Structure 1
Amino acid sequence: MNDIIIWRLIGATLLIGIVSSISQIRSDIARINVNLNRIAKQVGVPDTVTDELKSLLLEGEKIKAIKKYRIATGAGLLEAKEYVDSLSERE
């Protein structure tokens, strides 16, 4: 009985550690993407994804724009929706 409790505690601890590591990695990737986008703007790399998203928004295809952004960036659903919403507010 005590062995089961110990193994469950070990498993829970490992799970919490893994989730924490994944969360840290995601925030690191987000920070790196922000820096990369700034560098790309300074160098003058055209942002074709944003142009395509704006085109989809003008056609009323918001869901397709969100999906395209997720595929292009690997972003989560909420992050993609917020980005597409911010694009539509700028228009």
Structure 2
Amino acid sequence: MEINVMEILFFIAILWIMVIVWKINRRVTGIKHILDQLSKQYGVPENPINDELRKLISQGEAIKAEKIARKTLGLSMLEGMQYVDDLKKKGKNS
């Protein structure tokens, strides 16, 4: 079984891309944290859709809330799930 040079280069490129995506994800998470802090500090109002989403969550309609969040905010499925989970956590901490 001979490993081709192209296969090795392809594998290295995939690893390199994965590292870059991981770094970008960390940066975005940090920026999101900073934006959350700034919005609290300067009293920026919360997104109006959050009230409707919280109501759906309290009624046990988390999946419907995720769909509305995705459609309204232009989020991916994973981002919608995370957004609704964040609202759940904030609701429990209040």
Sort the Cα spacing of 1:57 and 1:82 in 2 relative to 1 into closer, same or farther, 3 A.
closer
Offset of 1:20 from its aligned partner?
A: 1.0
CA shift in 2, pair 1:18/1:27, >3 Å: same
What's the CA shift string for 1:12-67, capped at 9, x where partnerless? 00010001101111111111011101101111111124323212213331112233
Partner of 1:9: 8
- Taking the TM superposition and a 5 Å limit, the aligned residue runs for 1:64-79 are 64-70=64-70, 72=73, 74=75, 76=78, 79=82
Which runs of 4 or more aligned residues in structure 1 lie more than 6 Å from their structure 2 counterparts after TM superposition?
none
Q: Percent identity?
A: 24
Give the Cα separation in 2 of the matches to 1:73 and 1:23. Answer: 22
Q: SS in structure 1 opposite 2:67?
A: helix
Which structure dedicates a bigger proportion of its chain to helix?
1
Taking structure 2 as the reference length, the TM-score comes to 0.71
Query: Which residue of the partner structure matches residue 53 of structure 2?
Result: 53
Single out whichever of 51-60 and 70-79 deviates more from structure 2: 70-79
Q: Contact 1:57–1:88 at 8 Å: present in 2 too?
A: no
Higher mean alpha-carbon deviation, 75-84 vs 44-53, is at: 75-84
Gaps of 5+ in 2: none
**How far apart in 2 are the matches of 1:66 and 1:87?**
16
* Mean CA deviation greater in 37-46 or 66-75: 66-75
Q: What is the identity, as a one-letter code, of the residue corresponding to 1:39?
A: L
The one-letter amino acid of 2:64's match is K
Number of the residue aligned with 1:83:
86
Structure 1 gap segments, 5+ residues each: none
Question: Quick one: which amino acid aligns to residue 62 of structure 2?
Answer: K
